[in-house]
């Protein structure tokens, strides 16, 4: 195992050069969190582990490109994990509806990496995780549930209505209210100032 102080972007650069120990270190650091995100979407452990394996295989193949643009490794993995798991979930639903199984497309998310946050931005968010949890805790439970279903379970608006058991207009209004609240609090979490929460 490599030294704990080695940064994720330094490990990624080593992985891009073919260093398997660096990839193993990235796996040790990020796999538990990524598996949690994937399982939150898919619920099935075996299927979640397959998606996790896909994420790290893809990281190994694309390490050079991710490193070259300086994108955050953590942000890249979260987006790929969420996209892959969401694709499988949608394929599962489609298969259940049509009684046939389909594999989700591997390239179902934007391939350009320049829009991903830099590692420093993710580090700042990591430092403010407790503040983010406090902000999320201020949302009414039904609004928080709607956000979780959209962000982690990949639900579409029509599916939200069924999941939350409300009229379409109310579900849309709750989701908009939660989004406005978070947009208003965003500077508190990612900015350089804090307000009394």
pLDDT in tens, the chain (197 residues): 444 457 898 999 999 999 999 999 999 999 999 999 999 889 899 999 999 999 999 999 999 999 888 888 988 998 899 989 988 888 887 877 775 445 555 444 545 565 566 777 677 767 777 877 788 888 888 888 887 777 766 677 677 777 787 788 888 888 888 888 888 887 666 664 444 44
Inter-helix orientation angle 20-42/73-98, to 10°: 40
The dotted CATH code for 1-117 is 1.10.1740.10
* Spatial CB neighbours of 86, under 8 Å, sequence gap ≥ 6: 41, 154
Q: Matching CATH topology for 1-117 and 128-197?
A: no
Please tell me the predicted confidence (pLDDT) of residue 15: 94
What are the structural domain ranges in the chain?
Answer: 1-117, 128-197
Stated as kind and residue range, the H or E segment containing 2 is: none
Alpha helices, DSSP H, located in the chain: 8-16, 20-42, 45-69, 73-98, 119-127, 129-137, 141-151, 157-164, 168-190
The three-point CA angle 5-112-147 to 5° equals 80
CATH ID of 128-197, from 3.40.710.10, 3.30.70.270, 3.50.50.60, 1.10.10.10: 1.10.10.10
- Alpha-carbon span 8 to 129, nearest angstrom: 18
Please tell me the predicted confidence (pLDDT) of residue 18: 93
Please tell me the predicted confidence (pLDDT) of residue 125: 66
């Amino acid at each position: 195992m490599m030294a704990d102080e080695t940064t994720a972007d330094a490990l990624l650069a080593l992985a891009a050069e073919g260093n398997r120990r660096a990839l193993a270190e990235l796996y040790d650091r990020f796999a538990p969190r990524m598996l949690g995100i994937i399982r939150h979407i898919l619920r099935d452990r075996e299927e979640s582990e397959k998606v996790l394996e896909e994420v790290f295989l893809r990281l190994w193949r694309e390490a050079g490109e991710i490193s070259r643009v300086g994108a955050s490794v953590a942000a890249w993995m979260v987006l790929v994990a969420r996209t892959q798991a969401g694709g499988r979930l949608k394929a599962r639903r489609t298969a259940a509806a049509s009684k046939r199984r389909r594999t989700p497309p591997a390239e179902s998310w934007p391939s350009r990496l320049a829009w991903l946050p830099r590692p420093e931005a993710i580090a700042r968010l990591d430092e403010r995780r407790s503040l983010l949890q406090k902000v999320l805790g201020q949302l009414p439970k039904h609004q928080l549930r709607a956000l979780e279903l959209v962000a982690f379970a990949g639900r579409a608006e029509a599916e939200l209505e069924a999941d939350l058991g409300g009229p379409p207009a109310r579900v849309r209004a709750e989701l908009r209210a939660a989004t406005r609240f978070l947009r208003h609090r965003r500077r508190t979490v990612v900015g350089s100032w804090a307000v009394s929460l």
